[in-house]
Amino acid sequence: MKKIIKFLILLISISSFSQNELKKIDSIINSKISDNDPGLMVGIVKDGEIIYEKYRGLAYLQYQIKMDEKTKSNIASTAKQYTALMILDLAQRKKLDLEDDIRHYLPTLYKSVTDKIKIRHVLNHTSGIRDYCDLMGLQNDIWWKKVGLKNDDVINLLEKQQDLAYKPGSQYVYSNSGYVILAEIIAKVSERKFTDYSKEFFRNLGMKETLFIERYAGIIPNRAEPYGDWGDGIWLQTPTVTKTAGEGFLYTTLKDQLLFEQAVQNANKNTLLIKSQLPIPNSEIETYGFGLELSNFLNRKAVHHSGATGGYNSQMVRFLDEKLSIFAMSNNGNISTNLIIREVARLLLPEIKQKELYNGRLFEKEKNNQSQIVGQYHSKNDYLTRIVMEEGKIYFKQGKNLSIELIPETKNKFHLDYDLKTKLVFYKEEMVLFEPSGKTSIYKRSNEEKEVSFTDLKSFVGTYFSAELGMSFQLSLSNENQLKINFSNRNGERDVEVFNKNELLSRNFTLKANRDQFGRVSEIFLSLGRAKNNRFIKKTNLKFQPKIKTDNGYIQVTTISSNHGDTSDILLTKNESDGNEIWFKQFGGNSYDKASSILEIKDGYLIIGSTSSYGEGNYDMFVIKTDKEGNKVWQNTYGTFGNEYGYTAEKTGNGFLIKGTIQKCTSNSDVFNRSCKTNVWFVSIDKYGKEISNEILEEIE
* Neighbour count for residue 657 (Cβ, 10 Å): 16
User: Which pLDDT value is given to residue 233?
Assistant: 85
3-state secondary structure of 511: strand
Euclidean distance between CA atoms 183 and 181, whole angstroms: 5
| Contact criterion met (CB below 8 Å) for 310 and 144 | yes
> CA–CA separation, 624 vs 587, rounded Å?
9
What is the separation, in whole angstroms, between the first and last Cα of the chain?
85
Q: Are residues 613 and 624 in contact, defined by beta-carbon separation less than 8 angstroms? A: no
3-state helix, strand, coil in the chain (%, to 5): 20, 40, 45
Q: Is residue 75 a contact partner of residue 315, using CB atoms and an 8 Å limit?
A: no
The length of the chain in residues reads: 701
pLDDT in tens, 546-599: 888 888 899 999 999 887 778 999 999 999 988 899 999 999 999 999 999 999
Give the pLDDT score at 641: 79
Cα–Cα distance measured from residue 126 to residue 173, given in angstroms and rounded to the nearest whole number = 6
> How do residues 445-501 score in pLDDT, each as one tens digit?
997 767 888 888 999 999 999 999 999 999 999 989 999 999 999 999 999 999 999
C-beta neighbour count of 301 within 10 angstroms: 13
Alpha-carbon distance of 427 to 319, in angstroms, equals 39
Give me the pLDDT at residue 675, please: 80
Q: Is the Cβ–Cβ distance between 459 and 545 less than 8 Å?
A: yes
The predicted pLDDT at position 651 comes to: 94
Under DSSP, the state recorded for 264 is: H
CA separation for the pair 290, 200 (Å, rounded): 20
Residue 672: CB partners within 8 Å, gap ≥ 6?
Answer: none
Which structural domains are found in the chain, ordered by start?
51-348 (3.40.710.10), 368-445 (2.40.128), 454-538 (2.40.128.50), 547-700 (no CATH)
Chain-centre distance for alpha carbon 662: 39
* 296, burial (CB in 10 Å: exposed 0-12, middle 13-18, buried 19+): middle
Predicted confidence at residue 9, as pLDDT, reads: 42
The pair phi, psi for residue 697, each rounded to 5°, is -105, -155
- Three-state DSSP at 539 gives coil
Q: What is the largest CA-CA distance in the chain?
A: 116
Query: The pTM is what?
Result: 0.88
581-587 and 644-652 beta bridge pairing: unpaired
Counting as low any pLDDT under 50, the low residues of the chain are 1-15
Q: What is the pLDDT of residue 19?
A: 86
Query: Residue 590 and residue 464: Cα distance in Å, rounded?
Result: 41
